[in-house]
Every structure is written in C-alpha cells, then in structure tokens.
Structure 1
Amino acid sequence: MDEHLLRVGDFLRRTRLSPKALRLYGAQGLLVPDRVDPRTGYRQYGAGQVERARLIGVLRAAGMPLATVRAVVDLTGTDRLAAVDAWWAGVEADLRRRRELVAYLHRRAEREDRAAPDRDGVTVREVPAATLLTVERRLTVEALDGFITSAREAIEEQLRTSGAARAGALRVAYHGMVTEDSDGPVEVAVPFTGAVDPADGLRVRRRPPGREALTRLTRAEAEFPRILDAYDVVARWCDDAALTRTGSPAEVYLSARDVAPDEPHLEVAWPVR
C-alpha cells in the first residue's frame, strides 16, 4: 500500500469527520478518494487531503451551503477570504431581514390589540379612467426587483418607439402574495395617451374610473418589510370605514429609488367602493 495514502479510519481520525459526512462530501465531489480499490471498493485518501477535509468541515460548521463550499474550497489566500466574507455579508443581510420581519409581526399583533385602527395618513381619492400599458408575470420574491426594473424599461421603451405619452405614475399591482413560495401574479403598468401596439408580452388595457384608499410613504418607510405596515394600516382603515376592497393593492411610485430616505417615494393604494 502507498505509505502516503490513509485508510478511511485513519483519515476520519485525523479530520474528525463522521463517516456520513465523508460519504456526503464524496458524493458531492468535494472530497474524492485518491484511490478506490476496483475489486473491493475500499477507499483511501491522500495525506494532503486532510487540510481540505478540515476546511470543508469548518465551512459547513459555519452554516455555508454545500454549493457555496464547492465554489470556495478550491480558492486560496485572499480570494478564499473574500469569497467567505461575501457569503457572510449575505448571511447577515438575511438575518437583518428576518429580524425586521419578526419586529413587523410584533407591530401587527399590537395593532390587532388596539380598539381603534391607525387613521393618520390614510385618505380616499377618485381615480379617473385610464389606458394602461402593462406586463404581468408569476414570480417569487427573489425575482421581483429584477422583474419590476425590466418591465418598467420595456414599457417606457415601447411608449417612446410608439410616440405615446406617459400619463401618470408607474403602478405595481399585486394580484396575489409574493413570497419564497407564493408567485403572485404581479402586474407592472404605466398610464399613457396616444396609440401603442402591444409587443413582447406587453398589453394594453382600460382601467375604469373608481376610488382607492391610500397612504404615502417615504423611501425609508417603503423598505421591505416596513412597507408591510402600510398594507395593514390601509386594509384595517378600509374595514373600519365600511369600505369594501374591490381589487388588488398597488404600489404607486412617486420618485426614483435613489431619493433621500425622508423623501416621498411611493403610495400603497387599494381600490375600494
């Protein structure tokens, strides 16, 4: 036997991995034996694989997914550290989002315990009939921002090439919940005047006149998940005012995404009668 090869038992003792972990990392192509006996299937590992196995174990103990480990483990030096730091920054961002969602659940419970709903900032307005250029898609939350951006650009380009004039703010209507599991659908729409030919998934539809209850938010207030508070406040205000919510809620964009945090950014609007 090659003196530089380690039996499975010796390799496990040196790396402190379990047999289950060793089999998993082998199946994933992360830790492949240096030699496999073609007759018995007996595996042997190189002494140089010990440090690789320990690194994989530490990355997994930190919670790094196997797919990310695969991308990181073959890097060296500063490249590996940069990849680990980038992954960890994503973990911390996800933790902040989860923490904010838990805080939202507490605020929601507090609102439900109040005898009277929040009324400040909720108004009702008349909405005139309009012709909209729209695009609609089913998607989950990870694709939402990209879809809104690409849909807005496609709509604005079609309006320009058709010689039509934009006649109001961008509206993003949520015809169903958008989460990691629920896929909407979501509709992006812009009112316009003139003539536009539908193209590339875009369609023209007529919005009838009506009324909607709304509240206006700054950019800071419109950040997820703080924006969920606005949906709750408008919905409860409508129910308390005996107004029937008749359609899907929408976010009406008043400014670009790069405005100051305290500047008006969007309205959460709900059709009512």
Structure 2
Amino acid sequence: MNAPQAPDDALLTIGVFAARARLSPKALRLYDRQGLLAPAYVDEATGYRYYRGAQVARARLITLLRRLDMPLARIRQLLDLPGPVAAEALAAYWRTVEERVAGQRTLVDHLRGRLTGRSSEMYEKFEIRTVDVPEQQVISEFRHTLAHELPAFIGASLGRLEQAAREQCGGIVDAPFVQYYAEVSQESDGPAESCVPVADADAARAWAETNGHGGRARTVPATRLVRTRITKAQVAHPQINSAYEAVEAWIAEQGLTIAGPCREIYFADWDAAGPQDEVCDIAFPVQNR
C-alpha cells in the first residue's frame, strides 16, 4: 500500500521533494541557480531548502523538456509563457531540432562518401538536368562573405530585393538566385551576389541609383544551365558541396565547359519548407567546348 502524499501546500525537504519529482538534489540546486525552480523556503540558519508539493508538476515538466535536449535558458523562457503559447514555443523548438538532425544526416552521407572514396556513387543520387534561361533583368546586392555569414546575407539581401521588386520594379518574374564568383568557405569570402529578376528594367535602374545597400541593376544574358535540385537539409554547408561536385562531374562527363559563376536558385518558400522539401537548384552555366 502506497504511503499517503503530503498536501500540495506542505513544505517538503529537498530529499523528499527530489524523490517525488524524480530529480536529484544536485539537479534541484542547479535549477534554482538557473531561475527554473526556486525553493519555496530556505532556512536562514541552516541553509536547508524546502519545496511545496505543488512544485512537483513544474519539476517533472523540466525533466521532460531536458529529455528533448532543450537548453535550460530556453526552458526557463518556455515555462514563463501561458500554456498555449508555451506549446507553440515547444513546437518551434522541435522544428529547429528536426532541421538540424536532417542537416546532420545529409552531412553524414557526404562524409561517408568522402571517407570511403565512393564519391561517384554519392553523385548518383542527384538528378542532373539542363534548362535554357532567357535574358533577365535583375536587381542585386554584392557582398564578400565567409561561409558562416552567408545564410544571414542571403536571407537579408533577398528579403530587401524581393520587397523592392514588388514595390518599385514591376514585380518578381522568376526565382531569386545567388551567384558565386569565387569560393565561399571559412577561409575564402567569395564574393557572392543575390539577384532577383524583375519586370521593369527602367524602374530597376532608378531603384539602383537611390538604394542604400549598394544595390545594382543589370542584365543577365541568356544561358544554358546544368542543375540539380536539393532539399532544405542539403543546403547547409558543407553537405551542399556534394551537389556542386555532382553537377561539376556531370558537366565534365558530357564534354561541356563551365561558362560563368555558379548559382543557387531559391524557388520555394524557405520558411514554410520542411527539411526534406526541395527548395533550391544548384546550377552552372555551360557551353560546348
């Protein structure tokens, strides 16, 4: 027969409370220091900590959230929110976890291919196609950027350019893209150019004359692109390199020559896409040798 539980308003020693909450006293002291779960009373003379039975539910919730590897600071923020808002915050956290794990999974595939020397087999999973792209009028931003800075630059610059295209340049007529004029890595800073195709060339030139972010307006010549389509998880660096290498290998096999800077073409809503949704084309302009 189970022993009777103390009332929720009764003070419990840290040992008794730890047993009920299924936590160690050490964890309870840590949660107190982090502002997650403070004792209801601390005896000034002895320093002994006492908790109330009503705090058990919060303690067990912290334990469950920790099993999701949620950082303590984020748990503290979540627990201060109303229930429905906290539930949405938890869902948002888990989406970031799923995206990270999906990216790590593709990175493992990339590394296994390199470590086993089976790069050619790794390339076979990428479907390669060619597409003819007509001449385009674009507005753009040009930046020297390292790999860890690149996602922020792409997101911010394409956001500004898409807004300008809609409001000042007659609208967006094709998928935005980023061109790379040299390698972008942790040691090499490109440069890279974010581009948005627009409808009104004259309005685009007028916009470029007054833009405060170094914006440009120019014509991109018609070209033939060799491209492969990748998922959101595959966009992360360095696993995106597998897609680039697959396209380059196919171009060499076909006896073609790369005729300009490579591109990442972002044709999908990035924020709405899941880790396994296709969002981007990796493409090279080509010509016959």
Match of 1:112 among 102, 109, 119: 119
Kindly state the Cα deviation for residue 59 of structure 1 after the two structures are TM-superposed: 1.9
Q: 1:143 to 1:203 in 2, by over 3 A?
A: closer
Match of 1:214 among 206, 225, 242: 225
Cα-Cα RMSD: 5.1
Query: Structure 2: which amino acid aligns with 1:204?
Result: R
Q: Number of residue pairs matched?
A: 257
After TM superposition, the structure 1 = structure 2 runs for residues 53-132 of structure 1, keeping only pairs within 5 Å, are 53-73=59-79, 84=90, 87-103=93-109, 105=111, 112-113=119-120, 121=128
Kindly state the Cα deviation for residue 38 of structure 1 after the two structures are TM-superposed: 4.0
In structure 1, the partner of 2:211 is: 199
Deviates more, 1:150-159 or 1:136-145: 136-145
Q: 1:35 to 1:152 in 2, by over 3 A?
A: same
Alpha-carbon separation, structure 2, partners of 1:198 and 1:64 = 45
Equivalent pair of 1:198/1:204 in contact (CA under 8 Å):
no
1:224 aligns with 2:239: no
Q: Which runs of 5+ in 1 are unaligned?
A: none
Query: Structure 2: which amino acid aligns with 1:203?
Result: G
Alpha-carbon separation, structure 1, partners of 2:73 and 2:23 = 19
TM-score by length of 2: 0.60
Q: 1:239 to 1:39 in 2, by over 3 A?
A: farther
Match of 1:50 among 56, 66, 78: 56
After TM superposition, the structure 1 = structure 2 runs for residues 1-273 of structure 1, keeping only pairs within 5 Å, are 4-38=10-44, 40-73=46-79, 84=90, 87-103=93-109, 105=111, 112-113=119-120, 121=128, 133-136=139-142, 138=145, 140=149, 143=152, 146-147=155-156, 149-157=158-166, 159-160=168-169, 170-174=176-180, 177=184, 186-190=192-196, 193-194=201-202, 195-196=205-206, 197-204=209-216, 214-217=225-228, 221-225=229-233, 228=240, 229-237=242-250, 248-252=261-265, 266=281, 268-269=283-284
TM-score by length of 1: 0.63
Query: Structure 2: which amino acid aligns with 1:53?
Result: A
Q: 1:94 to 1:265 in 2, by over 3 A?
A: closer
